[in-house]
Amino acid sequence: MRRKFVFLAAAACAVLTMLVVTVPAQVSLTPKEQLGKDIFFDENLSLNYNQSCATCHGPEAGWTGPDSLINAHGTVYEGSIPGAFGDRKPPSAAYATQSPIFHLEKKGLFVGGNFWTAGRRAKPSGARRPNRQRPVPESCGAGAARCRGARRAGLRRRVRRLFREVWGVVICDPANVAMAYDNIGYSVAAYEASAEVNAFTSKFDSSKKGMAKLTKEEQAGHALFLGKAKCAKCHIANGQRPLFTDYTFDNLGLPKNPENPVYVANPGYVDIGLGDSCQPG
């Protein structure tokens, strides 16, 4: 067993070295993508004007939680409302829009969607309104934001101007609050789908383009990954831009993290994972 573990660990280390991401070059964004970026980094959209999407999805940390101290312990980030937490670490916003729409395959496998449990976002569309089963954590203040037209008036003046340019002046009509909320989500989704967030700049990606060459150790790790180690059975590595996932779900049997704030507040809480997304209602 120990020999097998060492073998797999060596394969994993070799593969990880070729997945190191480099800083992407500046990319040109469309007006909608730029609007989404401005909104993504705008703290005014939160309930208390103190938190942006980037607070929990930082580009400097692969578009996930950027606080190393939090990541080393409870992993869950406090929201705009003091003392309000979700129950999971923020997932990466990068490459999320490439996930297929959450669905049940004929073989009985759930596939696609966003977030750690797909039902939280039935469609891979960034900040788009969530489905009924899994609301956005109130730590984000999202419910209040929706009631106020997603703080349409709270956007900075320059962002409001771009918002009108992209979606038309009708978007600022008080009668179109729901439309404004949806279009804020679509704008963020456009940015999350852009080349700035989906950079494909790892050494592995560069090697696929002929812009870099894997070392002998990395090539050996890649061979193990595709072959004997069977990593590629779930972490699909086909195509020019593989994301190393088959978009399905597995029960890894991990124990709960006692430092997670949700267990501190409610020791009896049980996270049933994907099952929580499949509840009726």
Q: Are residues 42 and 159 in the same domain?
A: yes
Domain boundary residue, one of 166, 200, 234:
200
Domain boundary residue, one of 134, 168, 200:
200
Q: Could you say which DSSP state residue 104 is in?
A: E
Work out whether strand 103-104 and strand 110-111 pair parallel, antiparallel, or are unpaired.
antiparallel
Q: Are residues 4 and 73 in the same domain?
A: no
Do 162 and 38 meet the contact criterion of CB atoms below 8 Å apart? yes
Which residues are within 8 A (CB) of 156 and not within 5 positions of it... i.e. 6 or more apart? 38, 42, 44
- Does residue 106 belong to any structural domain of this protein? yes
- Does residue 44 belong to any structural domain of this protein? yes
Residue with tokens 């089963």: 133
Q: Are residues 99 and 232 in the same domain?
A: no
Q: Are residues 41 and 99 in the same domain?
A: yes
Which residues are within 8 A (CB) of 106 and not within 5 positions of it... i.e. 6 or more apart? none
Q: Are residues 147 and 100 in the same domain?
A: yes
- Does residue 206 belong to any structural domain of this protein? no
- DSSP-derived 3-state class of residue 213: coil
Domain encompassing residue 7: 1-22+216-249
Round to whole Å and give the CA distance between 80 and 206: 39
Bridge partners, residue 202, by sequence: 21
pLDDT string in tens for the chain (281-residue length): 445 544 455 555 555 555 555 445 578 999 999 999 999 999 888 888 899 999 999 999 999 999 999 999 999 999 999 988 888 999 999 999 999 988 889 888 889 988 777 655 544 444 443 332 233 444 455 444 443 444 444 567 788 889 999 999 888 888 888 898 889 999 999 999 999 999 999 999 999 999 999 999 999 999 999 999 999 999 999 888 999 999 998 888 888 899 999 998 899 988 888 876 665 54
Q: Are residues 101 and 87 in the same domain?
A: yes
- Does residue 270 belong to any structural domain of this protein? no
Paired tokens of 184: 């804020």
- Does residue 103 belong to any structural domain of this protein? yes
Number of domains making up the chain: 2
- Does residue 266 belong to any structural domain of this protein? no
Q: Are residues 38 and 175 in the same domain?
A: yes
Q: Are residues 138 and 223 in the same domain?
A: no
87: domain CATH number? 1.10.760.10
Do 152 and 174 meet the contact criterion of CB atoms below 8 Å apart? no
Element (H, E) at 110: strand 110-111
Do 191 and 94 meet the contact criterion of CB atoms below 8 Å apart? no
Q: Are residues 116 and 165 in the same domain?
A: yes
Angle formed at CA 274 by CA 269 and CA 278, multiple of 5 degrees: 100
Quote the pLDDT of residue 53. Answer: 93
Round to whole Å and give the CA distance between 203 and 33: 26
Q: Are residues 239 and 182 in the same domain?
A: no
Q: Are residues 112 and 65 in the same domain?
A: yes
- Does residue 118 belong to any structural domain of this protein? yes
Q: Are residues 1 and 34 in the same domain?
A: no
Q: Could you say which DSSP state residue 268 is in?
A: T
- Does residue 150 belong to any structural domain of this protein? yes
Round to whole Å and give the CA distance between 158 and 239: 40
Do 89 and 65 meet the contact criterion of CB atoms below 8 Å apart? yes
